[in-house]
Structure 1
Amino acid sequence: MSQQPNAHLTREAQTIRVIVRFWLRMVTLLVFAAFSSIRFDQSLMLLLLMSIILSAVLATLKREQPLGSVLNHWDEAIAYAALCCLIVSFDFHVLS
């Protein structure tokens, strides 16, 4: 049976690692959305959708448990989905 690469880290270290990874990815997405040729909200929403898919695929490949005791790629995917829904709701509110 193979050992997972994060097995030697404590729960706190794994959680901090996921939070740092999330914020680094968010900064990168915001920079790419800011310099996009389409509207900021549309490009950010598309980048968030791609991040949701990427996180879900990585979580599946690493066989991570959803809603586990530590943060993982599934939690990142949920955070990206929540931000995407927030953008859609603001966009809908502005159009009404």
Structure 2
Amino acid sequence: MQTSLGRQKAQDAATLRASRRALGGFVLKLMLYAVFAVPAAVGSGHPLVRYVNNLGAICVFAAVLCGFLALLQRQRPGDRALNQWDEALGFAGIFFLLRGIALG
């Protein structure tokens, strides 16, 4: 028979695994998007500004897509484990950071 403390530890371990998986997916997607933003930035003008703008646009699209997927999967914002809502907020935050860099 499992005690209450044992069940809590099992739930915490499952939450940690789910959060690590979500964070790993976020980092992998961000690296992939950063690579995809490079070809569009090459050319005339200021390539760094164009790169930041392109990556920002991709992050906006990713934030909207993550929010839509979270709605479809009926995930709750503010859940104990990281989920699509947190990923959407992460991409939105990166967009605003890049926007500040581009305008700065």
What TM-score does the superposition give when structure 1 sets the normalisation length? 0.83
> Post-superposition shift, 1:67?
1.0
Aligned length: 85
Find 1:72's aligned residue among 80, 83, 99.
83
What TM-score does the superposition give when structure 2 sets the normalisation length? 0.77
Matching residue's letter, 1:36: A
Residues in 1 aligned to 2:53 and 2:16: alpha-carbon distance in whole angstroms: 35
**8 Å Cα contact 2:53-2:102 kept in structure 1:** no
> Post-superposition shift, 1:21?
0.5
Between Structure 1 and Structure 2, the one with more helix by share is 2
> Post-superposition shift, 1:42?
1.2
Bigger drift between 38-47 and 25-34 goes to: 38-47
Partner of 1:5: none
> Post-superposition shift, 1:37?
4.5
| CA offsets 1:4-59 (integer angstroms, 9 cap, x no match) | xxxxx811110011011001100110000112246101110110011001100110
How big is the alpha-carbon RMSD for the aligned residues of Structure 1 and Structure 2?
1.4
1:86 correspondence with 2:90: no
Task: Give structure 1 stretches of 5+ with no counterpart.
Answer: 1-8
